[in-house]
Chains A and B, each alone.
Chain A
Amino acid sequence: MGNEKKAHVLEAAGKAPPVGSGDGETTTYKNIGFCGFAVGANASCVDVKNGRIVRVRPLHFDEKYKPEEMKPWKLEARGKTFEPTMKSLIPPFSLAYKKRAYSPNRIPYPLKRVDWDPSGERNTENRGKSKFVRISWDEAAQLVADELKRIQQKYGPTAVLVQGDGHGETMTIHGPHGCQTHLLDLMGGYTLQARNADSWEGWYWGAKHVWGQDPVGQGTQTNLWKDICENGDMLLFWGCDPETTPWGWSGQQASRLCYFWTEIGVKQVYVCPDLNYGAAVHADKWIPIRPNTDAAMQLAIAYTWITEGTYDKEYVETHTYGFEEFEKYVMGQEDAVPKTPKWAAEICGVPSRTIKALARQWAKKATSIAHGNGGGYIRSSYSHEPARLEVMLLGMQGLGKPGRNQLKMIEWGLFSLNSQIPGPRPEVIPAMTRSTYKGWQFTLPAQFIPKTLIHEAILNPPLTWWSTSLAGWPREDQFVQYKYPADGCSEIHMIWTDAPCLDTCWNNGNKVHQALRDPKVEFIVAQHPWMENECLFADIVLPTNTKFEQEDIGVDQFSGQFNTLLYEGQSIKPIGESKSCYEAVAEIAKKLGLYEKYTGNMNYEQLIHHGFDRSRCQKMLTYEQFREKGYFVVPTADNWEADPPGFINFYKDPESNPLDTPTGRLEFYSVGLHEHFWDDEERPCVPHFIPHGETHQESLLHERSKKYPFLLMSNHPRWRVHANHDDISWIREIPTCKIKGPDGYLYEPVWIHPSDASRLGIADGDIVKLMNERGAVMGGAYVTERIMPGVLYQDHGSRVDTIVPGQLDRGGANNMICPSKTTSKNCCGEVTNGFLVDIGKVDLDEMRRLYPEAFKKPYDPASGLVTRAWIKGGK
């Protein structure tokens, strides 16, 4: 079927021409969201003329549906009304996405590393250094198939590691993550890179031990928009940026919501080291706090409430367990250090009077806490501590009371759960995750390795750890120990990746590079549309393509206005020799004689139909209607207003509505941790402020800070989705996206406060480097009042541009130098934020003299690194 694929370019159907069509343009619908995993958002229209994309624009829901068919919701509070618009609120990434399809960074044809010879020298030490040559699809598929067979025969199926997770374009049939696993399942299995609860590490490893809340570990979201509109006085955006992280997942409804809360007088207080993009426009108050010192301030808030008697004692009595132990620690009975506001102020940089004022406001006003993944503490060392403390503080003020909950500004409907939707509930959450999509790998194969431990598994086996670490797994799993190699399984000798960006997104990229060069890893195949990051470490690179180039079915389930189901017609023909992930793996399946089994003898139309039949919308319209209209808007559920908001039932009657903790209560003293890890000083039964310990020394209170005196905050990027979109020229020319060096190279901004900059002789626009024992990365100084003194900020996810392997990166990919170790001793989450660095000015002339080759690499200032730099004789 791959070659017989029919281009179903959807003709402008219906009676009235769609908005914008005309002049020979045709329109296809696409969700252009970047969560991946078939979990879509950002419903868009793609207008095409003469085989080229003219534009991407918002979908106007009312183009083909009447309001009464969609049942728009309405939130009325304090004399004002909040309701959905009639168009999707797509972010700039979706708008500019055609630039990714046409990027000079696209991989034009299959590639083989010049010095990788499967029947001779493999030269694994040259991965990431040597160039590639063009080969045919036939040759590439044969090489992969032969290596696969050889390695499976020699070591067994678990010798193949699948790196098939991570965020990026959301696709269903064609997307990455499910294709190679589907084929390998037919061949006896594989070793899975287990997908962490990334960016919500602390909730997973910490908060679950206070309030349960499987699978996510965050608060119940049901009807919290309504609750806050009606009852909320204050919202704490604690390390939350509603104008950044939600974009790739949910578009810009979060922004509208914040404006509405301003309109009705809900005070918005931002607690974060940086004046993030949400604070910049929505904050009533910004409380700058040093990265990952939040636990100290949280304890001082508890201290204030305890000493002033302003917490809800009755609630604590009836709804919680172990408060006395917590109180002992707060008051200093355990360690002779009362956790006073003055004590905290020294640590966190927030004046003690401000801590007291915040504590009193919080006690007095109905306060919820907003999160959007990422932020100052949730991805740092010991992130379970501030996460647990936050839940306890919410508990001390009566979690679940009107206006007192924990709100998410992102992933509205995560895991297709109604309890993860804070807005008005749709009749159904349309889903593809368990039908046509094959990449939902949240069950365990024979062997797996947590994503954070891949480099350790390769470099220093054997390993043991606790918990599968898989996002969404239950709390109790954290008490189960696993090992690598698993019984009867092999070490890894081959890697098949469709998410080649561990180096710029996860822990200690320099170690990742070292591991990928290990001779034990005999073969690496990467399939990806763009030549970036770990593609350069592959032996064979298969060019895959963007969703514009494919026919598919998709959902928008996160955007917070209306959920939609989309027939995603093929917008343009595949670029170069690219194939979708599904088709690329099909080529290998053919060589293995598994093509029929792989496709199940279904063509795309059948797969789309199969997905529709299991979409949860299948009874709301016929398949024919769906195909004719091209999209379906899921109506708002009748009586959505009646769903009990947040934790209200637990608040009202904890006995009948217990939490899923061992005691059914909010556990200030964790019974589970007491039973299994009673002596873990890094995750004690009562949460502590842990500046440093056996595992991590990333604190200004540790002597390492003498050498590396700045804490680096690295949040989710404003102008990327993790490693995605770093080559979009229109985004790169935005002042906060890149900083142009005197050499014309666009450097990743490093935010530094004017007081620090002037002390160090750094001027705005200077080229600098951030460094610690793990290496150095470069950047362009952005001297700004948007960062507190003593703290530096750089987004994560910039494309790696190695100058000296293992030592120096020009791209500003600071994950290259973040800690290698995981959250804490018994928790294998990532630590990619709030770590120690020093900063210094860079002499570019000197650099160029020292590393002439690296600085001569072909480079396009508009889009950055280009594929041809890596192809021998490439033009």
Chain B
Amino acid sequence: MKSFVIDIAKCNGCYNCQIACKEEHVGNDWTPYAKPQPDTGQFWMKMHEKVRGSVPKVKMSYVPAPCMHCSDARCIASCAPSAIYRRDDGLVVIDPVKCTGCMSCLDVCPYGSIYFNRDMNLAQKCTGCAHLLDRGWKEPRCADVCPTGAIRFGEEEELKSLIDGSDVLLPEEKARPLVHYRNLPKRFIAGSILDPKEDECLEDVRLTLTSVATPARAQITGADYCFRGDHGGQPKKGVTLVGATDAFGDFWFNQIDTAQYVLKIEKKGFVTRTIEAIDVGEKDVNLGDIDLQRAP
């Protein structure tokens, strides 16, 4: 079985994968694998990007998402003319000759990976570059052009060590995708701690972060599913993380679950502070500059 492993921690957001996909499929007819992709508006390999946090605690996350080539592909079941099929290597392909353009597959795909080509009356999507694999390529275009090795493609058993401990998008759909993700973006809490009297950044401040409740605000849904932040499942209560500030007084709790948190801030010679009800739901949280007063 073929598999993709996409490591978000290595994705620099260059869009090579999205561009190469278009380069391969726009204006090139790979029937019986796929008819040409329209020039704009379709992204068989789609880069999702999100700006996270606020000045100056800002990061970006990029999540490239092809068709997930689900083992339990709803699109196959939904396709009345049986135009959608799974190959022996696991890749799910829409036969452009058999497709009648009924669009039922578009409705059932949980990932929005299927596009409709109005001019050709066709449902279209990522083929895993099956036309190239069948002529001897080792990997599809998106993986070949990835400069950092963030997109890996190969036999499932060869990639086993990378698949272990990985996540999938929308796990509750139980569609068993062939596309596995490592380091999918969760959430962060960040801030800076300072001594206002001395006008100094405070280093080695001890931070204790505890999750106390589920977040107040709703989870992100729809197209932003890549950034839902709860890829690991349900938010957990009572999880405690510890950290410390660096020389700039900065702290980051990265890749934390969505939850409501309490942060305890302690440093010898300073009055301990506690920040309650930090709601980490749909957004990452920059707590900004936090004053710590000298103990009397």
Contacts and interface: CB of A to CB of B under 8 A. Distances in A.
Given A729-B39, A730-B40, A735-B49, A281 B19 contact: no
B65 to A, nearest CB: 15
Interface stretch (A51-59, A182-190, A210-218, A570-578): A51-59
B144 A57 contact: yes
A356 B200 contact: yes
Interface string B33-64: 00000011100000101010111111110100
Interface in A90-135: 90-92, 95-96, 98
B148 A22 contact: no
Contacts of B249: 353, 357
B132 A285 contact: no
Interface string A730-743: 11011110000000
Contacts of B141: 55, 57
Nearest to A861: B40
B15 A354 contact: no
Contacts of B138: 19
Given A95-B19, A95-B23, A87 B144 contact: yes
Nearest to A283: B59
A752 to B, nearest CB: 12
A91 B137 contact: no
Given A20-B137, A259-B148, A788-B55, A243 B13 contact: yes
Given A89-B147, A788-B55, A252 B12 contact: yes
Contacts of A251: 147
Nearest to B198: A353
Interface in B96-146: 132, 135-138, 141, 144-145
Nearest to A247: B14
A733 B249 CA distance: 39
Which bucket holds chain B's interface residue count? 35 or more
Contacts of B149: 85
Contacts of A57: 20, 141, 144-145
B216 to A, nearest CB: 22
B31 interface: no
Contacts, number: 146
B287 to A, nearest CB: 15
Contacts of A89: 147
A58 B56 CA distance: 37
A785 interface: yes
Contacts of A285: 248, 250
B194 interface: yes
A77 interface: no
A785 B58 contact: yes
B28 A92 contact: no
B206 interface: no
B51 A353 contact: no
A156 interface: no
Nearest to A54: B28
Interface string A342-355: 10000000011110
Contacts of B27: 52
A239 interface: no
Contacts of B289: 351
Given A22-B136, A96-B19, A784-B51, A252 B201 contact: no
A733 B141 CA distance: 19
B10 interface: yes
A280 interface: yes
Nearest to B202: A353
Q: State the 7 A-B residue pairs at the shortest beta-carbon distance, nearest first.
A: A280-B60, A252-B147, A89-B147, A357-B201, A92-B19, A22-B135, A255-B12
7 contacts: A90-B16, A256-B148, A259-B10, A275-B51, A285-B248, A342-B199, A353-B249
Given A255-B14, A353-B199, A785-B58, 16 more contacts: A19-B136, A58-B145, A95-B16, A96-B19, A96-B22, A255-B12, A256-B148, A287-B56, A288-B55, A354-B201, A357-B247, A358-B248, A733-B41, A735-B49, A787-B55, A788-B55
Interface of B: 10-16, 18-20, 22-24, 26-28, 39-41, 47, 49, 51, 53-60, 62, 132, 135-138, 141, 144-145, 147-149, 194, 199-201, 247-250, 289
